[in-house]
Every structure is written in structure tokens, then in C-alpha cells.
Amino acid sequence: MENSLTVAAISTPVGSGGISIIRISGENAFTIIKKIFVPKHTKDISEAKSHTIHFGIIADEGKTIDEVLVSVMKKPNTYTKEDIVEINCHGGIIPTQRVLDAVLKYGADLAEPGEFTKRAFLNGRLDLSQAESVIDLITAKTDLSRQSAVNQLEGSLSHKISALKNSVADLLSHIEVNIDYPEYDIEQLSIDTIETTVIQINTEIKSLLTTSDTGKIIREGISTAIVGKPNVGKSSLLNALIGEQRAIVTDIPGTTRDLIEEYVNLHGIPLKLVDTAGIRETEDVVEKIGVDLSRRAIDSAELILFILDNSSPISDEDISILERIKDKKHIIILNKSDLPEAIDFSILGDSINNVPIIKLSITQNTGLDDLEKTIKKIFMSGEIDVNNEVILTNVRHKNALNKAEESLSNVLTSIKLLHTQELLAIDLQNAYRYLGEITGESVSEDIIHSIFSRFCLGK
């Protein structure tokens, strides 16, 4: 076999179907599934006949994650010519991600883009004529994912992880300088300092990990544009959803000229909210820029929240906006529901059949719950296409954090066993590498550089 590592990935588009498939390929595929799958009828999943499917639950440490169907396929008659297990779970973003998390936790590595096909080819499954297309697949996907992996790190999170990484680097370079320059008058790093620092770093990683489930770690959420004519309450809705005053809210139409992006989490569903400038024909140059940006935001959005004013009739402007968004998944929001109703939907005809309509009043704080529930329903039912990369990035980051945490715990165990510092350095280096994977920096020369910049050495 060309690859000894066992890899896993979500092999269906996330969110767009009722079912997601998580595929595991490699020599440990059966060992891993055995650890997380509780079959209903089958005795031992790793002993099951090849090419059979089994019902049961995926559980981690006794906690049920999802009800699933598991297919087992033994080598060599599989796509990759390796042992393959496929977990069919519910299609929502959250269960899919949790199942994949569990698979990674018990020993699989996250597959690189195009990895299954690459293995299929390297193991002789695909014929020679397909080589070029395999290469194209790998390069196209990889460039995209590396780029997005780094881009998707939220600014503050990136800072936090960089800071953790720097603390590990400081420890490491100090250990290394003590080893490589034993006779220099550089303070010997004490085991106590290492222990305290590692505990501190690990506590922070753990707290990052607990919030990662609710999506804080994802920068990109479902791209959601808030649209509507000027002064209909777009910024107010944004503020209500994020729970604080960010966008400038005034009574003057056209106040919002830049796009404002905010990341929120509605019951575990990550949204990237974009507040657009009101769309209308305008002569004001500054506002025109804002309007152009809004149009682009609509084109790239996956979900649109279209706000209408309950207290005034539907205008031409409203109709032209609706025309613009009709091919996008959208929700109509009737704001100012506390004011007398003056709106009449009949002029819109059939175009709003099947479109959910939510009545709310932002100033009175009513109806927001309904909106959140509706968004969740649409999302869970898989009506929105979510960029697969977003989910994978999140899994990748979380996985790296988990491994960093594990490496640091090993450091603490080694300290208890009275191991010397060059041994502690091994796990510290691993932790450093995993953190570096998240921030997307290469780490090879880092430590040596850090040694020479921090310590005064010389002949």
C-alpha cells in the first residue's frame, strides 16, 4: 500500500442533502469505527462481512452523536483499494461535523483534497489515462482549501492562536538554547516554569475547543445578506441579531454605505451577516459605491433576508429588489409590525408563494424568535448550499487544536515521570506544529530563529 495513514473526510456536499456520508479509508478504518459505532444488530462491526450496511449509533464516551447507517467495505474491492468505512449520518452541518470530529479523535487524519482519488490512482485502481484529471482535482482543490483555511480564521482567533504558538515557541527556544549552549549564562528554564506555562496554554486551548462546537471558530458562516430599501431597518435587524449596536442606525436614508459584516451563531448555525446599503438609483458618489457593493453582496449570498416595511405600501423599489433576489433562497421580513399594517402583497402575485414571511418589530423586540427558528429550519433541511470548505476548515482547525492539547498533556505527563527537558521538547514541538497548521505558517526554521533573536550567543 502507498499510504499507511488512515484518512477521513465528508464525501457529500454538506447541508444540501438529507444525508451526509463520512468516508474513512486506510488500514485502521475498522479499528476506528469499532471505537465509535454501537451497532443495533451486528455483533462486531470490524468482523462484519464486506459490502454490508449496519444500523446503529455513533457515540463518543457514551454520548450519542447521531443515528447512522455504516457500510463496511474490505480491501481490495473498494474505491481506494484500502479498507473503507462509510458513515451515513443526518445531513445537517452539526451532526456531520460531530461525526467527523469523533472519527478524527480516534485516529484518522483529515484527508487532503482529492485524497481518495489520489489513493485510488496510486493503488492501481484508476487507469493511467485518468492521471491528469486526478492531478487537476488535487491541485484545484488544494489551492482553494489552503487559501480558505487561512482566510477563514477570524481575526481575534488568529491572534489568540498565534499568541499560544508564541508561548510554546518561547518555551521551546529556551529549552533548546539550554541544550545547545549549556555553558552560557542563560538562565536554566525550570521544570516548574514549563509546567505552569503548559497548563496555562492548555487551559486556553481547552476553552477555545469548548466554544468551537458553537461555531466561533468558523469565520465564514452561511453568507446572509440583509436587503431592503433605505431606512427599512436593515441595520437595526443586524444589531438585533448580533445583540449589540454596531452598524450606524439613523433616520437618514443611506447611512450605511459600507458593507458591514458580522458573524453570529443562531443555535449552532454560523451566519455571516452582511448589512447592505439600501438599493436604489442614486447620484451620490459615496452612496453609489455602497449600492454597488450591495448588489455584489446579494450575488454572493446564500441566504437573503428581505425586509419590507409593514406600515407602508410596496414600492417599485421593493419590487425591483425582489426581482433581483428571486432566484436566491430568501425570507421576507415584515418590520415595524407594531405600526398599523399598510402593506398589500397582492401586487406581488405568485412570486412570493412558498416564501416564508416573518412579522417582527425590532424596536419592540418581537418576532425575532420566529426568524431564528425559520432560518434554522431552512438550514437543517438542507435547502441552503454551504461551501464544503467552510465545514472542513472548521474540522481541520478543531482537529489541530485537539492534537496540540494532547501533545501538551503529554508534556505534563512526562514532567510527572521526571523526564528531562530534551524529551519534553518532543511533545512541545508537536504542539507547536499543530498550532502552526492553524495559522498556516511554516515552522521549520522558527525555533532556531527565535533562539538567536532572544538569546545573546557568540564567540
Partner 1 sequence: MPYIADEVDVIVVGAGHAGCEAALATARLGHSTILFAINLDSVAMMACNPSIGGTSKGHLVRELDALGGEMGKNIDKTYLQIKMLNTSKGPAVHSLRAQADKKRYSEEMTKIVTNTPNLKLKQGEVVQILSENSKVTGVRTATDSIYKAKCIILATGTYLKSICITGDYTVNSGPCGLQSANYLTDSLIDLGIEIYRFKTGTPCRIDKNTIDFSKIDMHPGDEKVIPFSFENYGKVISREQLPCHLTYTNANTHKVILDNLNRSPLYNGSIAGVGPRYCPSIETKLVRFQDKERHQIFLEPEGENSNEIYVQGMSSSLPEDVQIDMLRTVSGLENCEVTRIGYAIEYDCINPTQLKLSLELKNVEGLFTAGQINGSSGYEEAAAQGIIAGINAAMKIENKDPLILDRSDAYIGVLIDDLVTKGTEEPYRMMTSRAEYRLLLRQDNADMRLLEKGHDVGLIPEDRYQRFLHKKQVIAQEVDRLETTHVGTKPEIQDFLKANNSVELVSGITLSSLIRRPELTYEMLALIDKERPDLTEDIVDQINIFFKYEGYVQKQKEQVDHFKKLERKLLSIEIDYSKIPSLRTEAIQKLNEIKPTSVGQASRISGVSPADISVLLIYLEQVKRMAKQ
Secondary structure (3-state) at 187: coil
Residue whose entry in the numeric block shows the C-alpha cell 447507517:
69
Nearest-angstrom CA–CA distance, 360 and 378: 18
CB of 449 to partner 1, least distance (A): 8
Nearest-angstrom CA–CA distance, 75 and 89: 23
Nearest-angstrom CA–CA distance, 48 and 37: 13
Specify the residue, 146 or 159, whose C-beta has the smaller distance to partner 1. 146
Specify the residue, 291 or 451, whose C-beta has the smaller distance to partner 1. 451
Q: Which residues contact 34 (CB under 8 A, 6 or more apart)?
A: 44, 45, 46
Contact (CB, 8 A) for 306 and 333: yes
Specify the residue, 232 or 395, whose C-beta has the smaller distance to partner 1. 395
CB of 5 to partner 1, least distance (A): 8
Nearest-angstrom CA–CA distance, 270 and 152: 13
Secondary structure (3-state) at 272: strand
- φ, ψ dihedrals at 444, nearest 5°: -60, -50
Nearest-angstrom CA–CA distance, 355 and 318: 15
Q: Positive or negative CA dihedral for 402, 405, 409, 414? A: positive
336: cell is 415595524
Specify the residue, 285 or 418, whose C-beta has the smaller distance to partner 1. 418
CB of 157 to partner 1, least distance (A): 23
Specify the residue, 122 or 368, whose C-beta has the smaller distance to partner 1. 122
Helix (H) and strand (E) counts in the chain: 13, 13
Specify the residue, 37 or 121, whose C-beta has the smaller distance to partner 1. 121
Contact (CB, 8 A) for 274 and 303: no
CB of 122 to partner 1, least distance (A): 5
CB of 177 to partner 1, least distance (A): 9
Pairing of strands 222-227, 269-275: parallel
Specify the residue, 216 or 454, whose C-beta has the smaller distance to partner 1. 454
Residue 236 Cα distances to 27, 267, 382, angstroms: 54, 20, 28
CB of 423 to partner 1, least distance (A): 6
| Interacting residues toward partner 1 by CB under 8 A | 2, 4, 112, 114, 118, 121-122, 128, 131-132, 134-136, 138-139, 142-143, 146, 176, 178-185, 417-423, 426, 442, 447-448, 451-452, 456-459
CB of 381 to partner 1, least distance (A): 35
Specify the residue, 148 or 312, whose C-beta has the smaller distance to partner 1. 148
Phi-psi group of 441: left, alpha or beta (phi > 0 → left; psi -120 to 50 → alpha; rest → beta):
beta
Contact (CB, 8 A) for 104 and 8: yes
Contact (CB, 8 A) for 94 and 18: no
CB of 142 to partner 1, least distance (A): 4
CB of 173 to partner 1, least distance (A): 9
Specify the residue, 106 or 121, whose C-beta has the smaller distance to partner 1. 121
